[in-house]
Amino acid sequence: MRPVSGSGRLVLAATPLGDIRDASPRLVDALGTADLVAAEDTRRLRSLAAALDVTLSGRVISFYDQVETSRLPGLVQALHAGQTVLLVTDAGMPSVSDPGYRLVAACVAEGITVTCLPGPSAVTTALAVSGLPSDRFCFEGFPPRKQGERQRWFAALASEPRTCVFFESPHRLAATLADAAAVLGDDRRAAVCRELTKTYEEVKRGGLGELAEWAGEGVRGEITVVLAPAEAREGPSMESLIAEVKQRVADGERLKSAAAEVAAAAGVSKKALYDAVVSGA
């Protein structure tokens, strides 16, 4: 890691999902004082600044997916020169399924200070209102667009013990929920959160089959989906595992190998199963 040549810092700033009143005082201050503002959409940035009655005194550049890589050298150079660079996306937290990750990684590699102005996030907002377990969760971004890849994507979540949050576009939502129901079952619980914090906010909760049918009628707006964790399945009893090992030994297998294979398949301790078989012999 190279030593930092200036005192610049990268500031990631969360912006309102919809309701402008969710903008923090720190965001207002940062917009007015940053030397350079990198925005996913400069038009939206200027609309946000106008709504907050803030004058953007620093230079403004666009920073969206297609130009993110090409913009990195210039931004890193500005940071090394001691400038404060503010990064904002259209809504929510930068780098969470939005531009920002590559810039943060570049700054970390260069030893440049990275800080954050916390605030609105569609991920945690949807999780909070979903009514689904929130003690453990994972964020999965956007599902694949092609049906086959999307179904395999859901298959990988079939036994996921955490609540899953993902984004989807409104015109693909019905097909995505139908694929989820086909792979995970109609009754797997979920919540579709639409237009969070906006005038027409809606949270639709139910089984995947029911939600897919609802979405088939047409859905508009920004969509965040929260998927319930897989139900814990009760594993086989120790008695049944002992009986299986004994049967395999009777069929000619060595005790140690039989106990090891049965234990691995059941997800239990090989030694505990072996000892249980020996003590009960």
CB neighbours of 258 closer than 8 A, spacing ≥ 6?
A: 245, 248, 249
- Nearest one of 143, 138, 199, 142 to 163, comparing CA atoms: 138
What per-residue confidence (pLDDT) applies to 85? 98
* pLDDT value of position 233: 66
Predicted local confidence at residue 268, as pLDDT: 80
List the pLDDT tens digit at each of the 281 positions of the chain.
444 456 799 999 999 999 999 999 999 999 999 999 999 999 999 999 999 999 999 999 999 999 999 999 999 999 999 999 999 999 999 988 889 999 999 999 999 999 999 999 999 999 999 999 999 999 999 999 999 999 999 999 998 999 999 999 999 999 999 999 999 999 999 999 999 999 999 999 999 999 999 999 999 999 999 999 998 766 788 888 999 999 999 999 999 999 999 988 887 888 889 888 988 75
Query: What 8-state DSSP symbol labels residue 34?
Result: -
| Cα–Cα separations (whole angstroms), residue 109 to 38, 67, 68, 76, 113 | 19, 20, 17, 10, 10
Count of CB atoms within 10 A of residue 105's CB?
Answer: 13
Q: How many CA atoms lie within 13 A of 20 on its CB side?
A: 11
Question: Domains of the chain, with CATH numbers?
Answer: 9-120 (3.40.1010.10), 123-227 (3.30.950.10), 238-280 (no CATH)
- The answer to whether residues 130 and 211 touch, using CB atoms and an 8 Å cutoff, is no
pLDDT the model gives residue 97: 83
Res 234: pLDDT? 67
Cβ atoms of 62 and 47 closer than 8 Å: no
| pLDDT attached to residue 267 | 76
8 A C-beta contact, residue 175 and residue 223: no
- Starting at the edge strand found earlier in the chain, the sheet holding 223-227 runs 137-139, 163-168, 223-227, 189-194, 202-207
CA angle, 74 as apex, 99 and 1 as ends, to 5°? 85
